[in-house]
């Protein structure tokens, strides 16, 4: 064992949307900076995708993965407990496992990085006197809101969603009340209080890593670093490291059914449809989407999971990768037969990063989770933004209004059913009009901008080097 090698432990909280970027970060630090990486992965018992993914990631042996035994929180929750509260409980209950994981390491980590929902681990880092960093797996605008929420909580009375004016975030684009993140939608729910605590815990860290890059969010990054109001919330100025976009290295080793099908399609002719690791539609919305796709006559690959009425994030902590043919029974009668030459319907889970990197894919109907957004942008694929939960409405607004790489339904899909005619129209615009072409060109420019940020001397490359230098014991 080489105890002179820098050692960083990274904790991932439950959910594929957290595990994936943590593994990418770990791999980058190990491969490009010769750092020993140990990932402490808190998983959920019910997510077979997480378990499969961990097994596969462990095969490469570039990093060590210690799965933290999943904890049973069923006695602490009921059917009304929201996702953020559950995530916080899962992490809280996993703290003893994380503590003993760190205590048993012969080579004590030089730094501990936790993801967005791992902030409760701060006390363990303090106990072992290890410098601690938080990895904000989404963008800088959401981070600015996170930091400023403590002030908004003091200054604003009543529900944020009832405000008539946008919420001002110093130095950043204002936030429309309709776009607030899920936990801010009901201030009386436990989830809001957990979220608020989480944002306060951010200020206890030694630095914040963000999965974004200067060219994408320059103004917001500048505000995070120098806006007095934001800095005063942080009390001591915190280093901000924009190290994104973190993306998986795609090696298509086995050409599964979907990839083989894509191999036989025309360049940029396929629309990919997927709502992240746990997004679900209502049964009615699923039927309208199916009809919209069919009417558009656009070729597609659609990852379908059973609908859930009224709870778009219901599968988030339960993303089961098994082949559930039952899923198809929720589609309109005859849909699969009528569209058999037009599209592929994949139950539950597909290799999204591989699909988006395929040259036949030319558009993406996405829930705008930040990982999906990054996977789309780094492949130059424009989007139809279909936000469902978490911070996705903010992401969708940024993609459409600021970056011009997406179009979206007239009314938020979580508020009103998006009808088949509107879906048909959006698909046509994205895949087959000048407007669609212009969004595609902008997405391709961002792909280049991302590559520049990551290449030697680029902003994110440099930021990662500064982080490594800061972590290295003096």
Catalytic residue ranges? 18, 115
Q: Give me the least distance between CB of 1 and ligand UDP, in Å please.
A: 33
What b/e readout covers 37-61, taking b as 16+ CB neighbours within 10 angstroms?
bbbbbbbbeebbbbbebbeebbeee
Dihedral (CA of 21, 22, 25, 28) sign: negative
In the complex with ligand UDP, the residue whose CB is nearer, 83 or 407, is 83
* Span near ligand UDP by CB under 6 A; candidates 89-97, 273-281, 331-339, 452-460: 273-281
Q: Which of 303, 381, 430, 443 contacts ligand UDP by CB under 6 A?
A: 303
Dihedral (CA of 343, 345, 351, 356) sign: positive
In the complex with ligand UDP, the residue whose CB is nearer, 15 or 436, is 15
274 binds ligand UDP (CB under 6 A): yes
Pair type for strands 64-68 and 36-42: parallel
CA distance 391 to 117: 14
Position closest to ligand UDP via CB: 17
In the complex with ligand UDP, the residue whose CB is nearer, 428 or 447, is 447
Q: Give me the least distance between CB of 173 and ligand UDP, in Å please.
A: 21
* Span near ligand UDP by CB under 6 A; candidates 77-85, 250-258, 367-375, 413-421: 367-375
CA distance 386 to 397: 10
Q: Which of 182, 214, 294, 375 contacts ligand UDP by CB under 6 A?
A: 375
Q: Which of 85, 139, 277, 460 contacts ligand UDP by CB under 6 A?
A: 277
* Span near ligand UDP by CB under 6 A; candidates 210-218, 336-344, 349-357, 407-415: 349-357
Q: Is 36 left (phi over 0), alpha (psi -120 to 50) or beta?
A: beta
Across the beta sheet with 343-347, the strand order is 343-347, 300-304, 270-274, 361-366, 383-385, 406-407
In the complex with ligand UDP, the residue whose CB is nearer, 101 or 279, is 279
Helix ranges (H only) for 415-474 are 420-432, 434-454, 459-471
Across the beta sheet with 36-42, the strand order is 64-68, 36-42, 7-12, 111-115, 132-136, 208-210, 240-242
* Span near ligand UDP by CB under 6 A; candidates 27-35, 150-158, 348-356, 445-453: 348-356
CA distance 460 to 24: 14
* Span near ligand UDP by CB under 6 A; candidates 95-103, 209-217, 227-235, 270-278: 270-278
Kindly state the tokens that stand for 14. 């439950």
As a whole number of Å, the end-to-end CA separation of the chain is 21
| Residue 136: burial class (beta carbons within 10 Å; 0-12, 13-18, 19+) | buried
Q: Which of 167, 350, 377, 471 contacts ligand UDP by CB under 6 A?
A: 350
In the complex with ligand UDP, the residue whose CB is nearer, 15 or 306, is 15
Tell me which DSSP letter residue 473 carries: -
In the complex with ligand UDP, the residue whose CB is nearer, 150 or 318, is 318
Is-contact 72 40, C-beta < 8 A? no
Contact set for ligand UDP, span 219-248 (CB under 6 A): none
349 binds ligand UDP (CB under 6 A): yes
Q: How many residues of this chain interact with ligand UDP, rule: CB under 6 A?
A: 20
CA distance 146 to 169: 10
Write the interaction track for ligand UDP spanning residues 12-31; mark x where CB under 6 A is met and - where it is not.
Answer: ---xxx--x-----------
* Span near ligand UDP by CB under 6 A; candidates 6-14, 121-129, 178-186, 346-354: 346-354
In the complex with ligand UDP, the residue whose CB is nearer, 292 or 321, is 321
Q: Give me the least distance between CB of 279 and ligand UDP, in Å please.
A: 6
Closest C-alpha among 11, 202, 198, 26 to residue 97: 11
CA distance 400 to 386: 11
In the complex with ligand UDP, the residue whose CB is nearer, 217 or 375, is 375
Q: Give me the least distance between CB of 21 and ligand UDP, in Å please.
A: 8
Q: Give me the least distance between CB of 102 and ligand UDP, in Å please.
A: 26
Residues that bind ligand UDP (CB under 6 A): 15-17, 20, 274, 276-279, 303, 349-353, 369-372, 375
């Amino acid at each position: 064992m080489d105890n002179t090698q820098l050692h960083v432990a990274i904790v991932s909280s439950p959910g594929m949307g957290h595990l994936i970027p943590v593994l990418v970060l770990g791999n980058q630090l190990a491969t490009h900076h010769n750092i020993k990486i140990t990932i402490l992965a808190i998983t959920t018992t019910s997510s077979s995708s997480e378990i499969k993914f961990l097994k596969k990631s462990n095969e490469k042996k570039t990093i060590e993965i210690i799965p933290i035994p999943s904890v049973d929180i069923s006695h602490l929750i009921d059917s009304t407990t929201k996702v953020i509260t559950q995530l916080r409980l899962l992490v809280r209950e996993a703290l003893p496992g994380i503590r003993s994981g760190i205590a048993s390491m012969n080579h004590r980590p030089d730094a501990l990085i936790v993801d967005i929902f791992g902030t409760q681990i701060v006390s363990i880092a303090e106990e072992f006197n290890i410098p601690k960093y938080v990895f904000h797996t989404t963008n800088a605008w959401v981070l600015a809101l996170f930091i400023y929420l403590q002030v908004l909580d003091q200054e604003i009375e009543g529900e944020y969603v009832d405000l008539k004016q946008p919420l001002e975030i110093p130095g950043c684009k204002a936030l429309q009340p309709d776009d607030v993140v899920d936990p801010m939608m009901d201030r009386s729910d436990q989830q809001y209080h957990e979220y608020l605590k989480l944002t306060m815990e951010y200020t206890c860290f030694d630095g914040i890593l963000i999965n974004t890059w200067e060219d994408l969010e320059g103004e917001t990054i500048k505000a995070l670093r120098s806006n007095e109001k934001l800095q005063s919330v942080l009390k001591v100025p915190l280093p901000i490291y924009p190290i994104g976009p973190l993306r998986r290295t795609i090696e298509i080793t086995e050409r599964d059914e979907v990839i083989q099908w894509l191999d036989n399609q025309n360049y940029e002719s396929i629309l990919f449809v997927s709502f992240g690791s746990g997004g679900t539609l209502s049964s009615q919305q699923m039927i309208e989407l199916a009809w919209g796709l069919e009417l558009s006559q656009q070729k597609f690959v659609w990852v379908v999971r059973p609908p859930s009425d009224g709870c778009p994030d219901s599968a988030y902590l339960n993303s089961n990768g098994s082949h559930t043919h039952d899923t198809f029974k929720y589609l309109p009668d005859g849909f699969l037969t009528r569209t058999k030459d037009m599209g592929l319907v994949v139950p539950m889970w597909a290799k999204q990063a591989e699909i988006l990197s395929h040259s036949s894919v030319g558009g993406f109907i996405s829930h705008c989770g930040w990982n999906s957004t990054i996977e789309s942008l780094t492949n130059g694929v424009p989007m139809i933004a279909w936000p469902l939960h978490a911070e996705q409405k903010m992401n969708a607004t940024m993609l459409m209004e600021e970056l011009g790489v997406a179009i979206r339904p007239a009314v938020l899909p979580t508020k009103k059913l998006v009808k088949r005619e509107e879906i048909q129209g959006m698909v046509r615009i994205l895949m087959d009009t000048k407007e669609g072409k212009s969004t595609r060109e902008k997405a391709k420019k961002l792909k280049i901008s991302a590559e520049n940020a990551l290449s030697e001397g680029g902003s994110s490359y440099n930021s990662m080097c500064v982080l490594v230098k800061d972590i290295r014991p003096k």
